[in-house]
Structure 1
Amino acid sequence: MWAQPVTLSGTHAALVPLSQEHAAGLAQASADGDLSSLWYTPVPDAAEMEAEIDRRLGLLEKGTMVPFTVMAPDGRPVGMTTYMNIDHVNQRVEIGSTWYAKSVQRSGVNTECKRMLLGHAFDTLGAIAVEFRTHFLNRQSRAAIERLGARLDGILRSHMVMPNGTLRDTAVYSITAADWPAIRAGLNWTLSRPR
């Protein structure tokens, strides 16, 4: 298959293949900021964490997802992210199902994780395009995606039913292989600045 589990390491974080060994640490990370109470994005709480890990690992077996645990430099799990909706034939992938503990948000972790995932997708896998999707009303996520340099492709109206029964309009963004050199330079510059 085109996309496979891999470990990616940076200064602020490492991305390692998701495992049930990370369940307790990920439950603590989810509790940091009470992320499971967010209405516009699903984040598992402690009771749901093992089942969510199993769900993601099941999608890995089917070849449609490569799930990662986001690890802090001290080795603690601080979030999850994935390559998802993998199109092995057309070499397209979505980066999504991402969440981070409140204590590492706005710390450089997200920027570095996206830099590593984008770099691996374009520079190693030869991706044609990388996609991002989020709830239209998730302004924090949309702003973060736009800061990366991704362009809004459009809005999928009434795209999916959320756990609370509301309909989600999904904002779809992408970065193409042609966009990547300039975006890579911008991300490298952002990560090199003092925090």
Structure 2
Amino acid sequence: MRLTGEQFDLELLQEKHTDSLFEVASEPSNWTYMTRKMHNKHDMKLIVEEALKLHQQGDTMPFIVKRKRDGAIVGSTRLYDISPRRKTAEIGSTYYSESVRSTGVNTECKYLLLTYAFETLGVVRVQFKTDEQNKAARKAIQKLGAFEEGILRNERKLPDGRVRNAAVYSIIKEEWPEVKAKLTERIEFKKKGHE
């Protein structure tokens, strides 16, 4: 399965992507706020295997992010906690190569995932959660047009022993048309070479 964008495509994760993702994910800045750590290729192999297992169970759609101009894998993102019964999903587990940050990659990838969630899966709500301390992720989520719902205190214990609070955001189906229009404008603006 492929979700096609202007500058980036999302393709379902496969085991063969492990080495390329390791190269992207080996940048330490990708793991500062993640709920698990990646120290070596074996860790990445386990992360990919877990994502594929969750995909087989129908709960998760893990994607690689592929740059269209050269076919390079430049990141990963997921649509997960997909509930056909509740008509909800969550977007997260996202990381990008430093080489594509500030290029519009996040806007385009989230646009593709949100479009798929609302217009194909028919969800009524898409949720985002991030570490309360992760200012960059919080700003990026807000720029998507997501509504900040609050903070989940002591949401989970992290591999380094720290207990994190999670900032929770959402976009609901009634907001999607306006959010979609604004994201489309931002993608077009980036496409024309603007910041």
TM-score above 0.5, yes or no: yes
Q: Distance in 2 between matches of 1:9 and 1:104?
A: 17
What's the CA shift for 1:46? 3.9
From 98, 103, 107, give the equivalent of 1:102.
98
Question: Do 1:30 and 1:43's aligned partners in 2 also have CA atoms closer than 8 Å?
Answer: no
Percent sequence identity over matched residues?
36
Q: Bigger shift: 100-109 or 178-187?
A: 100-109
Normalising by structure 2, report the TM-score.
0.92
- 1:137 corresponding residue in structure 2: 133
Q: From the superposition, tell whether residues 10 and 45 of structure 1 become closer, same or farther in structure 2 (CA, over 3 Å).
A: farther
**In 2, Cα distance between equivalents of 1:162 and 1:46:** 18
Structure 1 residue 35: deviation in Å?
A: 3.4
In structure 2, the partner of 1:40 is 33
| Alpha-carbon shift at residue 44 of structure 1 (Å) | 3.0
Which stretch shows the higher mean deviation, 58-67 or 89-98? 58-67
Q: Which residue identity does 2:57 align to in structure 1?
A: K
- In structure 2, which of residues 37, 43, 58 is the aligned counterpart of residue 63 of structure 1? 58
In structure 2, what is the Cα distance between the partners aligned to 1:120 and 1:86? Answer: 12
1:8 to 2:6 alignment: no
Shift of 1:125: 1.6
Q: Distance in 2 between matches of 1:104 and 1:82?
A: 18
Q: Partner letter of residue 62 of structure 2?
A: P
SS, match of residue 123 in structure 2: coil
Find the partner of 1:161 among 154, 157, 161: 157
Structure 1 residue 78 displacement after superposition: 1.0
1:150/1:192 Cα in 2 relative to 1: closer, same or farther (>3 Å)?
Answer: same
Of the three residues 9, 25, 31, the one matched with 1:30 is: 25
The aligned runs of 1:151-190 (5 Å cut-off) are 151-190=147-186
Q: How many residues align?
A: 188
TM-score by length of 1: 0.92
Hey, what's the Cα distance between the residues in 1 that align with 2:57 and 2:121? Answer: 19
Structure 2 counterpart of 1:3: none
The one-letter amino acid paired with 2:33 is Y
- Residue identity opposite 1:184 in structure 2: K
Q: State the distance in 1 between where 2:9 and 2:133 align.
A: 29
Determine helix, strand or coil for the equivalent of 1:178.
Answer: coil
Q: Is the 8 A contact 1:7 1:16 kept in 2?
A: yes
* Counterpart residue number, 2:122: 126
Quote the Cα distance in structure 1 between the aligned partners of 2:53 and 2:120.
24
Question: Residues 64-120 of structure 1: CA distance to partner in whole angstroms, max 9, x if unpaired?
Answer: 111111111111111111111111201100011111111111111110000011111
8 Å contact from structure 1 (residues 30, 46) kept in 2? no
Tell whether the 8 Å contact from 1:56 to 1:67 is kept in structure 2 after alignment.
yes
- Structure 1, unaligned stretches of length 5 or more? 1-5
Spell out, residue by residue over 1:155-179, the C-alpha distance to the aligned partner (whole angstroms, 9 max, x if none). Answer: 1001100110000100110000000
